[in-house]
Structure 1
Amino acid sequence: MSATATATATATATATATATHRIPVGVIGLGNLGQALAEAFLTQGHPVTVWNRSAGKADRLVERGASLAATPTDAVAAGELVVVAVLDYDTVGELLRPAAGVLAGRTIVNLTTGTPSAARALGAWATDQRAAYLDGAVYAVPQTIGTSAAFVLYSGDEAAYRSYRAVLDTIGEGSLVGPAPELSSVYDTALLSGMYGMFAGFFQAVAFAGTEGIGAAELTRPLVRWLTAAADALPAFAEEIDAKDYTTTTSNLEINAVGLRNILSATEAQGLQTDLLAPLLRLFEDQIRAGHAASSLARAVESLRADGV
């Protein structure tokens, strides 16, 4: 190939890559998350059109080069990729239904927190409009959007995810967890359940320590160290749960039940409520009554399953 032909081919490839990279994005909803998303897309050079009920929230983004849409339908029409981050799924439906006529051929990425059933219904509706649908759960505070600290779990249209993965990774490292649109919401509910369980334990710990004048900050230093070490047990628990093999020669349910009873007794003695931890003891005791006292602590999950112990 001649030098001229090589240069032409290189220029064409560069132009194609640039055109591919500069995907028009519509962002609907400019709360803290939506603003951070729009900022990230702008930073990567994508043409961004935004819409929010309170148009003033778009001012800073417009100064940076975003276009302000008069209606959600206009934002959809302007975007090849349409990212929605609003309060709830009812609001998503309210905003997208009037845009049904312009959805065909576009990809909707819904980053609104909701329930699996709502995600399933919205995904089916979007498919009926001949749009590709991805549901996503964002794990980041707005300040970390676009950094290595952020990650997003997506579910839904696999082809759409492959097509726009490079653009979506602008938000944070993405993973497709499955083709059913509700799967990211299932993951999200599960992960947030674990988070709130940790918060519950933290609040209980701080309240108990405070009865003897130990400050929350003072307690939190060793607590974080201990919880970090304790989290190392989770992968082994997960293997036991998936295999339904709870054989153990170490810390079994009976030992943990004795320890937890002591904690609850001490908590009551300090005049505090035991509402947060008492249900966990009931799970342990359910399993012990069923003859599993010598089983791993992980077996407590069986008392939460629909088919019981």
Structure 2
Amino acid sequence: MKFLTILLFVLNTIILCNAFKINDALSFISSSSSSSYVQELKDNKRDIENYLNVKHIERNIQYNEDRTLDVYYDQESTELKPVYIFLYGGAWHSGSKVKFTNFGSLLDNNGYVAVLPDYILFPYGGFEDMVDDVYHAIKWTFENIQKFGGDPNRVSISAYSAGSHLTALTLLKSLLNYSNKNIELEPFPEFEKVVLLNGPYDFDDYSVINKMIGQSNNSILEKLVQLIFKSPNVSPTDLLKPLSDNSLTSLGAKHFVFFYTSLDQQVKESSAINFMDQMKRVCPNVSIEYVYKEGYEHTTLTRGVRASSPEEENVYLSLLNIKF
């Protein structure tokens, strides 16, 4: 367990540094201590208070054995509303539905039913365990959300960072009938929208070594990720590469929205661009909107929504409300 934790730290340092830069790594380690730690404690205290004060919520519904999710909804509403599932990020080893409770409240206040699931985190589970949770949370939503005033025919999903990665990985593995934990996944009903924020979709994008020797697949870093997270399938982009051009008529959703930010030092923009290129190659009629925001860092949007900042709330809602 200690060995895997050390490997995860190395992985995070590589990704956050974007190029194995020692000076950048030292800066990250320094910035992750003292003041930022104190601020995170304050933010977590605020998030817990927000969570405890929410009125329009059904808490801790079991969906995959002892895993739980929360549903944010207006108990007095009589009409079925569109649904958003929100999957948080946290580098696959941190985060919780409580921490992102303001996303649920924001969605509820703007005419949606929101589903916020918890999922297993490293080192207690690898990518296949995480995909298993995400898959069952989505399946639960389609099968049960009408009981909470949600329209099962208008289900969308939004995710951030590691949550975006897991969302894309789960959707493609189910769409393409991949095996996960020795069970062949079945496709979901079609999503209305998939809105992905600041997500990494191919770990090869972080490999300086691969670029130096001119290779584009199966980098040392990607093999390390496969080892750490105990899965042969770790990059959503790689699931599409073996497919022929024009081989798919749908990628599981009517519309996709990708969001990236100019000051993001943790996830490469090329990760989304390369993923979108593969999506368009195998499914030319796929509907994709790419939104690039100047002046935001990796966490600006999510920290803003967590803090009830009107600016970031409006940016997030504008992504959900893009017209196609």
Structure-2-length-normalised TM-score: 0.30
Higher strand share: 2
Q: Which has the larger radius of gyration?
A: 1
Which one has the bigger helix percentage? 1
Greater RCO (Cα-Cα under 8 Å, separation 6 or more): 2
